[in-house]
Amino acid sequence: MDRLMKILSLALPLSLALTPAPGEAAEALVKITAPAEGAKLDSMALTKLVYEVRPGPKGDHVHVYVDGKEVGILRQLKGSYTLEALAPGSRSICVKVVNKAHVPIGVEQCVKVAVE
Amino acid sequence: MLPENFAYALTQVVHNFGAVAVLGSAVFALLVPVAVPERVARLAAAGWVLQIASGAAFGGVSFYYYGRLPDLHTIAASALAVKLACAAGGLVLTLALAARGRVWAATRRRAAWWAVAALAAAALTAAAFLRWFA
């Protein structure tokens, strides 16, 4: 019991010291630059997704989704990703920040596009 | 350091040692003649149990902190299915080796250990795809 208390008394200050202070880490965000919300896209053309991400303290990388299905993994925080040809109709393209275990942390942006 | 990272890291420690146990036990059983082979089989079975439990714990940690499981790409989901199949097969085989291995013919016992080693190697390979294709 004494040994356990000793370990806890060492671990607690260490964990506090390693915890970032509020505001120390930048807020996470996702910005989709292209395609724009409501854009009309050609179903025969490849669509270029242009994005910028700040993963924040909990995020690690981002996933790309089309209509809720994961289609890509992006490890660059800023850049572009070419989506495979999209089927005609209304489509939702999302970029979500995920943690190292690939769990979305709740920071995301989605755009709705019309594919013709 | 975020508490969730600590939880993931501890789970990873258990998962890693489970991986060492399943492959290491099988290779050891194939290379070294031992007086009590049941002990090696029990160690391997314990390794598979650790693998299954810690694998589930990864999902549990995610669910605890985010209320959801990881998002997996098709390739990663396939890799997870391979891992689950390997773990189920490996556990059954090692439990059988622990319980009945002594009365099996040497060739049958050796074939079973080769199968356990192959399942462990396949699970480790699938783990890499699960990690990087998710």
Q: State whether residue B70 sits within 8 Å of chain A by CB.
A: yes
Question: Against a cut of 0.80, is the pTM above it?
Answer: no
Rg (CA), chain A: 20
Residue B134, pLDDT score: 80
- Per CB distance under 8 Å, which residues of A are interface residues toward B? 15, 18-19, 57-58, 63, 70-71, 73, 96, 98-106
Answer yes or no: do B61 and A18 touch at CB < 8 A.
no
**B17 half-sphere exposure, CB direction, 13 A CA radius:** 10
pLDDT digits (tens, 9 = 90+) for A19-76: 444 444 578 999 999 999 999 999 988 999 999 999 998 899 999 999 999 999 998 9
Q: For chain A, which domains are there?
A: 24-115 (2.60.40.10)
Residues of B whose CB is below 8 A from A15:
1, 3, 6
Tell the burial category of A116 from Cβ atoms under 10 Å away from its Cβ (0-12, 13-18, 19+): exposed
Answer yes or no: do A100 and B8 touch at CB < 8 A.
yes
Range of the domain at B57: 3-132
Residue type, B23: L
**B8 half-sphere exposure, CB direction, 13 A CA radius:** 16
Q: State which H helix or E strand residue A33 sits in.
A: strand A29-34
Q: How many domains is chain B partitioned into structurally?
A: 1
Q: Which residue has the tokens 């970032």?
A: A20
Mean pLDDT score of chain A, rounded to an integer? 83
Residue range A98-109: average pLDDT?
94
Residue A25, pLDDT score: 54
Looking at the complex, report in whole angstroms how far the Cα of residue A105 sits from the nearest Cα belonging to chain B. Answer: 7
